[in-house]
Amino acid sequence: MARPKKTAEPRTVRVAIVGMGIGRDNGRPIHAHPRAKITALCDLAEDRMKSFAEELKTEVAFYTDYRKLCADPAIDAVCVCTPNQLHVPVALAAVEAGKHVLITKPLADSAAAATRLVAAAEKARVVNMMSLSTRFSDGALWLGELARRREFGELYYARARSIRRSGIPDWSLGFIQKGGGAFRDMGVHALDTVWWLLGRPVPRSVLGVAGAKFGPLGKGYWDFRQPPKSFWRHHAADDYAGGFIRFRNGVGLQIESFWASHQAPDFNLELFGTKAGAKLHPLTVYRTRGGAPVDEKVEIPKGPGAFTNIANHFIACILDGTPCSAPLRHGLIVQEMMEALLESARLGREVRM
Ligand SMILES: NC(=O)c1ccc[n+]([C@@H]2O[C@H](COP(=O)([O-])OP(=O)(O)OC[C@H]3O[C@@H](n4cnc5c(N)ncnc54)[C@H](O)[C@@H]3O)[C@@H](O)[C@H]2O)c1
């Protein structure tokens, strides 16, 4: 992978945020960073931009057209937080204008779009990073450090899941339309983080099932809310997906994502290693000592939190040339695994990658 070119960067990175939902969570720690500031916002809803600008207490330019924003020479980097279907169009416009990009998960709404974007971003040699709030959470980073130090021995199996009782997002159609769905929304967090903890093995084959048992019936929406039929009649995505990914090195991964279910809510990752195992929630390391099982409940000191970790890393990549630990290429491989699982569900057979 080509390293981003080193340019004479300004001392303060001028960042634009596109999409005022999770864009605000990404934007706050960027603006609080001593070497970065938010200088522009973009959304179709001007009131959402205004309220965020008031919170930031700073002068920012407002855009409703992301193409015009990307043409603004006073912007160095763009943080893309629109619905899934717009990640690639917005990010393509940004990288083609030479802007660094930080993109919320999932990278795209399809593998083809993700591939196109990664090629363009690498060609432009800009910093291109995924904003991954689970991988960059303090607990996952701590487990990652243990994995790097080989404390688990050989990691040969993992389970990862996101299970909600009634949690289909009802605030944006993008979630439930084609290119949305439970797996790209929440499965992506579990899959990306566990794949990263496993050392990013190369996927070989995927077997999956997926479908929609609640959303198209107007059930299972966020917090048992009842959105109007004019909203839920657009449901055209999975509301559950589950399957098994086999990697080239023999590692197996069981992955599940349910937006709604008759099950207890759960978000978890479990690692199986020859020397130790681990679980993310509650953060636990399982070992054998003196022939007896020892379960270590871990209380890591409260860290800065995922979005601050993401902002700090993004700015360091831009200003210090720090190699990016979450490039879009990672998002592409995760996208390919997700799309293969959904394809396997459609075809009713295993898909080789
Ligand atoms: N933990 C996380 O990292 C996390 C959490 C939530 C959402 N997300 C991701 O963020 C994305 C958005 O989700 P959300 O919950 O913030 O949704 P949201 O609906 O709250 O916010 C999306 C915003 O994008 C704006 N938008 C839509 N089309 C646009 C356009 N053409 N130009 C500019 N702005 C436009 C909308 O007006 C809206 O304000 C999704 O891809 C989702 O997967 C990530």
Q: Whose CA is nearest to atom 33 of ligand 1?
A: 43
Distance 201 CA to ligand 1 centre (A): 30
- In-domain check, residue 294: yes
Answer whether residue 51 is part of any domain.
Answer: yes
8 Å CB contact between 156 and 250: yes
> If you ran DSSP here, which 8-state letter would residue 44 be given?
S
1 domain residue, yes or no: no
- Residues 100 and 198 reside in one and the same domain: no
Tell me the average pLDDT of the chain: 96
DSSP run (H or E) holding 50 = helix 46-56
Model confidence pLDDT, tens digit, residues 11-25: 899 999 999 999 999
What is the CATH classification number for the domain harbouring 70? 3.40.50.720
Q: Whose CA is nearest to atom 38 of ligand 1?
A: 19
Contact call for residues 13 and 127 (beta carbons, < 8 A) = no
Residue 279 gets which letter from DSSP? E
Residues 228, 162 share a domain? yes
pLDDT in tens, 85-139: 999 999 999 999 999 999 999 999 999 999 999 999 999 999 999 999 999 999 9
pLDDT surpasses 60 at 4: no
The b-or-e profile of 44-78 (16+ CB within 10 A means b, else e) is eeeebbeebbeebeeebbebeebeebbebeebbbb
Whether residue 259 lies inside any domain: the answer is: yes
Of all protein residues, the one whose alpha carbon is nearest to atom 14 of ligand 1 is 21
**52 lies in some domain:** yes
Mean pLDDT over residues 304-330, rounded?
A: 98
Query: Does 223 lie in the same domain as 108?
Result: no
Backbone angles phi, psi at 284, to 5 degrees: -140, 140
153 shares a domain with 101: no
Task: Quickly list DSSP for 61-82.
Answer: EEES-HHHHHT-TT--EEEE-S
Q: What is the DSSP letter of 140?
A: H
Asked if residue 123 and residue 88 are part of one domain, the reply reads yes
> Do residues 163 and 266 lie in contact, with contact meaning Cβ atoms separated by under 8 Å?
yes
pLDDT band at 8 (very low <50, low <70, confident <90, very high): low
In this predicted model, which residue has the larger pLDDT, 231 or 8?
231
106 shares its domain with 148? no
Shared domain for 160 and 300, answered yes or no, is yes
Average pLDDT over residues 286-298: 97
Work out the pLDDT band at 216, boundaries 50, 70, 90. very high
Give pLDDT, residue 11.
Answer: 86
Number of domains in the chain: 2
Ligand 1 mean position to 65 CA, how many Å? 15
Q: Is residue 99 part of a domain?
A: yes
The mean pLDDT value for 216-245 works out to 98
CATH code for the domain in which residue 207 is found: 3.30.360.10
Q: Which residues line ligand 1 (CB under 6 A)?
A: 18-22, 42-45, 48, 66, 81-84, 86, 104-105, 131, 133, 171-172, 185
Question: Is 5 among the domain residues?
Answer: no
Residue range(s) defining the domain that contains residue 21: 13-134+307-322
Do residues 147 and 217 share a domain? Answer: yes
From the CA of 56, how far away is ligand 1's center (Å)? 19
Are 69 and 195 in a shared domain?
no
As a whole number of angstroms, the distance between CA 256 and CA 279 comes to: 16
Q: Looking at the structure, do residues 100 and 57 belong to the same domain, yes or no?
A: yes
Within a domain: 3: no
Grouping H, G, I as helix, E, B as strand and the rest as coil, residue 6 is coil
- Give pLDDT tens digits for 247-269: 999 999 999 999 999 999 999 99
Q: What would the mean pLDDT of 332-349 be, rounded to a whole number?
A: 98
To test the pocket of ligand 1, the residue of 26, 41, 49, 81 to mutate (highest count of ligand atoms within 8 Å of its CB) is 81
347 CA distance to ligand 1 middle (Å): 31
243 and 127 share one domain: no
pLDDT tens-digit readout, 75-87: 999 999 999 999 9
- Asked if 109 and 146 sit in the same domain, the reply is no
